[in-house]
Structure 1
Amino acid sequence: MIKHIPIACATAALLATAPAFANEDLIKLSQNPKDWVMPAGDYASQRYTTLKQITPENVKHLTPAWTFSTGVLRGHEGGPLVLGDVMYVHTPFPNIVYALDLNNEGRILWKYEPKQDPNVIPVMCCDTVNRGLAYGDGKIFLYQADTTLVALDAKTGDVKWSIKNGDPSKGQTGTSAPYVVKDKVLVGISGGEYGVRGYLSAYDIKGGKLAWRAFSTGPDNEMLLDPEKTTALGKPLGKDSSLSSWEGEQWKTGGGDTWGWISYDPALNLIYYGTGNPSTWNPAQRPGDNKWSLSIFARDADTGVAKWVYQMTPHDEWDYDGINEMILTDQKFDGKDRKLLTHFDRNGFGYTLDRTNGELLVAQKYDPAVNWASSIDLDKKSPNYGKPIRVKQYSTQGNGEDVNTKGVCPAALGSKDEQPAAFSPVTQLFYAPTNHVCMDYEPFHVSYTAGQPYVGATLSMFPPPGDRNMGNFIAWDNIKGKIVWADKEQFSVWSGALATSTGVVFYGTLEGYLKAVDAKTGKELYKFKTPSGIIGNVNAYEHDGKEYIAVLSGVGGWAGIGLAAGLSKGTDGLGAVGGYAALSNYTALGGQLTVFALPNP
């Protein structure tokens, strides 16, 4: 039985003014710290818990309470959902879903294993990952690799409805977590390395009927843009702003895919998400700003019409997808109460915007190695306001095709990829898992064929000059745009973080360690090595009066693709295999949920 026990908590502060028509059930559930009902814990994507049993003083006593093998050996991204007495666990392809009974030592209540064509596997970029499940209206929602969105009865696992959101034969795949807002389920599309034109779809939660679909590129009516009312940095877009930024009809294979995270502000009734790289990776083949790839969108949850949009990296030359999470906070900025959105972009800059109108407030490097741009122009009177000030030496287009641009920082997997950061209302700091990686990038000419790779670049990855660490776990001040502290890691930190009200922050490492650090100083307080590298996201919940920390381990994802897919050539895995070759000395494939707790008194 699923128990609904709404308890108010600090993380729900920005939801308190939500209008009555918002998804009240999910809002109430997300305000109960005993449960974990959304991929990020709440609509604001703060990944924060108010549970108080685990503290900086006693976290060193954490021990594994129980474990569960998923039976799958590829990269395990995302994390479990917890609703009352039931935990819901997902896997990468073949995308199995387990419902586990927390009252009976994790006994399997039901299991759903879809039958998918394995030919989808070679079409999936950067491992066969799946980033999680969603809950709403008594259903568990799964977005399969073959782009099937399935609604499962939360109590029985029976299929209530399913729809197909794309076509894998054209390179379209599903890797992201669904997102429930009001009476709709939102899902994006993956496939930027196959020339897939990105879009976000909204389906009716009752029966799966398509409510709206917003493309990332193309004409206004297909992008759900209002040329007079939709703004970019405070100015109306004007007619067909995307079409004018592409040569000919390249927008039809232009990428801008939507495989990342979504956030929602019930008071504003706006959803926020980012778009991915333009296709192809060879910038010389697609002149123009390539709008609206690499952009943050704010859209009306009911209609999908965009209120504002901001492009971080016009005419991308490095594969700096903009799909990373949008963390919503209510904070003071310049002495005024502001509704903010903070985004750690792949391009290495941490952005703070006013989420009501898209005003850019802060944009600073959150990894000192970033060199492709010197800064972001924050002068509102400048014609280049909001645009990066590029360093010509690191342009991959300026050197021409078939010329290797060396030492670009960050690498294509960014200073941070999809692994989500956390925010603590107590410290007012963000805790971000990051990559500290550079690359050599050599573009080449490539032709488009539906369903075939459309990359057009060869990459090699390595640590920045003079450094040996490929990752940092950082505390970030989004108002000042400064790193407060940084903990070095041998490999990229590819797990999602969790912040707690007691001052402990959790994250996982590619070697397989779950780590706990002090929120104020970054001092390591605890670590435990799980059976495989962690690229999953750390969650917290309470059951029968006891607090638990849960995380999926199972090395893979882009950074671990060499291990996950058995690749050995240094430039394989879009350049990641060589950079992370040493990872095989520390961990091996696996798929396991590990749940931690303090010993009984």
Structure 2
Amino acid sequence: MRKILTFAMALFVSMAGTSFANDELATMIDDPNQWVIQTGDYKNQRYSKLDQINKDNVGDLQVAWTFSTGVLRGHEGSPLVIGDTMYVHTPFPNIVYALDLANDGKIIWKYEPKQDPDVIPVMCCDTVNRGVAYAEGKIFLHQADTTVVALNAETGAVEWSVKNGDAAIGETNTATVLPVKDKVIVGISGGEFGVRGHVTAYNIADGSLAWRAYSMGPDEDILIDPEKTTHLGKPVGADSGTNTWEGDQWKIGGGTTWGWYSYDAEENLVYYGTGNPSTWNPAQRPGDNRWSMTIMARDVDTGVARWFYQMTPHDEWDYDGINEMILTEQEIDGVERKLLTHFDRNGLGYTMDRVTGELLVAEKFDPKVNWTTGVDMDPNSETYGRPAVVAQYSTEQNGEDVNSTNICPAALGSKDQQPAAYSPETELFYVPTNHVCMDYEPFRVSYTAGQPYVGATLAMYPAGDSHGGMGNFIAWDNKEGKIAWSIPEQFSVWSGALATAGDIVFYGTLEGYLKAVDAKTGDLLYEFKTPSGIIGNVMTYTSDGKQYVGILSGIGGWAGIGLAAGLTNPNDGLGAVGGYAALSDYTALGGQLTVFKLPD
């Protein structure tokens, strides 16, 4: 019945007009019994109000059922639950299953796109996909080959499709999409191929183009008002997207947008980050390389930017800025503020005023970070908001063909795209992290469309100190910029976290464990080893009045690329193969959804 009512409501509101349709989707997101969006809600908090499973009984969890996806390689993202239907996705070839939760998980429909396998070698760091999205009776899938498809949620039939990029020049996709208002927001991958990043809004009704905003280029391309769009409170000025590049190198400048998106309905702003500048050899691209490595706040209706903040000007280490922006309302110095918290690849945790772009906190969330001594927080300083680079760990100052050693973090960052969670009960952020360092040797490289445009050789290895192995799962205070507690893990924590009203936090490990810990103390309450390493994101829902927890397992992603792609050269996978070679002693390839519940 709930499924019927859900689709009936979707049909009604789509006929009634856009604004009501927006209210319908927001109402569904607010229902904790469903999991309607990959990030849990528009604020990217990944918090569930469900508390049937709590810290007192989570130790009794048992496997309720499992589902094999039929695909090996890395399984990122999570299923969606809309009414009584679960939607499960896979890595390439990006199969989507609709499962009937009221009928023993029966497959209602299966969508399997026919994509050119030549896209596989163009995809950096595995053939992952971070999941589907739902709005107005449609399931949205952004395929590896950049085709955006709207599927009928009841039948799986294609209602419209549009090509968002060109794999022949290195443009691919690994990310999910964000349905908001009457649009669906999508990004692009391919920074390692000299792709110029952009974010695009398509109209939900028919897939027509609403707007496209590039990461760098002329003002009209990056959709800014030079006098009104700000950076740290000051207008960016004319030509900000070209005047820190040499010549026209911005045309192959990277800044791709393969991460997560969040949305503030009151401000009508969408927030996201841009990736590394191309190439990885910093000597070949003098200047700050704006607007790569940047947090962006844009108007959903027009795409015009309100503010930018560039975290790592003139990146020298591949510290993509694409990780999620988590939106909260918290009190600072006695004043309630609308905040944005971001855990960057560069190892710094940022807290900002998301209305104005004011920088409030920038602190290391891994104590091993050594490439910078910290960010200048003096608004009157000429270097306000910039990180101070330590010369020893500057890959450009050390020179081309020079191997800079023991740089922390490694290129995959103190945290990659694996999303953190936030609990409004504890006001803590729960962050899956990497505790990994690297050697980095840049070399000169030329650009050829569709060919790798990297220009660096990397080696990765554990940080090697008292803080554990290659990862930690931490609780973070975003107002103080401090770690509240930390759980060491043998390998990087590459799973998205989930916080719940049951005072527990879930996450997965690369060995394949689903773990539940106390939200206040970090004490381990439950663990279960799934068939393959976990790089997926934990989600929860109810069915027939019972709460369930679901996780996709299937080793892969950047950390697991050696296993996923059968690579053995330590320098392959941009250095990750050697760094994570020991993973093969603990897990193997797989592709499975595991769902947990309390005993009847």
Amino acid at match of 1:275: T
Please show how residues 37-76 of structure 1 align to structure 2 within 5 Å: 37-76=36-75
Q: Residues of 1 paired with 2:408 and 2:272: CA distance?
A: 24
1:466 positional shift: 3.1
Residue number in structure 2 paired with 1:487? 487
Q: Residues of 1 paired with 2:84 and 2:241: CA distance?
A: 48
Q: Is the 8 A contact 1:189 1:200 kept in 2?
A: yes
Residue number in structure 2 paired with 1:289? 288
Residue number in structure 2 paired with 1:337? 336
Residue number in structure 2 paired with 1:125? 124
Residue number in structure 2 paired with 1:223? 222
Instruction: Write out per-residue CA displacement over residues 191-239 of structure 1, whole angstroms, 9 at most, x where no aligned residue.
Output: 0000000000000101000000000010000000110110001000100
Residue number in structure 1 paired with 2:580? 580
Instruction: Write out per-residue CA displacement over residues 38-65 of structure 1, whole angstroms, 9 at most, x where no aligned residue.
Output: 0101000000001111111100000110
Instruction: State the superposition RMSD in angstroms.
Output: 1.2
- Farther off after superposition, 317-326 or 461-470: 461-470
Q: Is the 8 A contact 1:508 1:535 kept in 2?
A: yes
Instruction: Write out per-residue CA displacement over residues 123-165 of structure 1, whole angstroms, 9 at most, x where no aligned residue.
Output: 0000000001110010000000000000000000000000000
Amino acid at match of 1:327: I
Please show how residues 310-459 of structure 1 align to structure 2 within 5 Å: 310-459=309-458
Residue number in structure 2 paired with 1:470? 470
1:390 positional shift: 1.1
Residue number in structure 1 paired with 2:544? 544
Q: Residues of 2 paired with 1:3 and 1:52: CA distance?
A: 26
Q: Is the 8 A contact 1:4 1:29 kept in 2?
A: no
Residue number in structure 1 paired with 2:501? 501
Q: Residues of 1 paired with 2:83 and 2:595: CA distance?
A: 16
Instruction: Write out per-residue CA displacement over residues 427-484 of structure 1, whole angstroms, 9 at most, x where no aligned residue.
Output: 0000000000000000000000000000000000011133550000000000000000
1:100 positional shift: 0.2
Q: Indicate whether 1:212 and 2:211 are aligned.
A: yes
Q: Residues of 2 paired with 1:422 and 1:339: CA distance?
A: 17
The TM-score with structure 2 as length reference comes to 0.97
1:557 partner SS: coil
Q: Is the 8 A contact 1:476 1:483 kept in 2?
A: yes
Residue number in structure 1 paired with 2:590? 590
Residue number in structure 2 paired with 1:182? 181
Amino acid at match of 2:493: V
Q: Residues of 2 paired with 1:32 and 1:538: CA distance?
A: 17
Residue number in structure 1 paired with 2:12? none
1:521 partner SS: coil
For structure 2, list consecutive stretches of 5 or more residues without a partner in the other structure. 8-17
1:334 positional shift: 1.4
Runs (4+) off by over 2 Å: 1-6, 19-22, 465-468
Q: Is the 8 A contact 2:197 2:257 kept in 1?
A: yes
Q: Indicate whether 1:85 and 2:84 are aligned.
A: yes
Residue number in structure 2 paired with 1:308? 307
Amino acid at match of 2:374: S
Q: Is the 8 A contact 2:19 2:181 kept in 1?
A: no
Residue number in structure 2 paired with 1:510? 510
Amino acid at match of 1:417: D
1:542 positional shift: 0.6
Q: Is the 8 A contact 1:190 1:257 kept in 2?
A: yes
1:193 partner SS: helix
Q: Is the 8 A contact 2:418 2:432 kept in 1?
A: yes
Instruction: Report the number of matched residues.
Output: 588
Q: Residues of 1 paired with 2:381 and 2:333: CA distance?
A: 21
Residue number in structure 1 paired with 2:553? 553
Q: Residues of 2 paired with 1:38 and 1:240: CA distance?
A: 36
1:5 positional shift: 7.3
Q: Residues of 2 paired with 1:307 and 1:25: CA distance?
A: 27
Please show how residues 98-109 of structure 1 align to structure 2 within 5 Å: 98-109=97-108
Q: Is the 8 A contact 1:376 1:388 kept in 2?
A: yes
Amino acid at match of 1:487: I
The TM-score with structure 1 as length reference comes to 0.97
Q: Residues of 1 paired with 2:388 and 2:399: CA distance?
A: 20
Q: Is the 8 A contact 1:3 1:83 kept in 2?
A: no
Q: Is the 8 A contact 2:75 2:128 kept in 1?
A: yes
Q: Residues of 1 paired with 2:125 and 2:163: CA distance?
A: 22
Q: Is the 8 A contact 1:246 1:290 kept in 2?
A: yes
Residue number in structure 1 paired with 2:15? none
Amino acid at match of 1:575: G
Residue number in structure 1 paired with 2:167? 168
Q: Is the 8 A contact 1:22 1:266 kept in 2?
A: no
2:25 partner SS: helix
Residues 147, 139 of structure 1: alpha-carbon distance in 2 compared, 3 angstrom cutoff: same
Q: Residues of 2 paired with 1:287 and 1:127: CA distance?
A: 30
Q: Is the 8 A contact 2:495 2:508 kept in 1?
A: yes
Instruction: Write out per-residue CA displacement over residues 392-441 of structure 1, whole angstroms, 9 at most, x where no aligned residue.
Output: 11000001100000000000000000000000000000000000000000
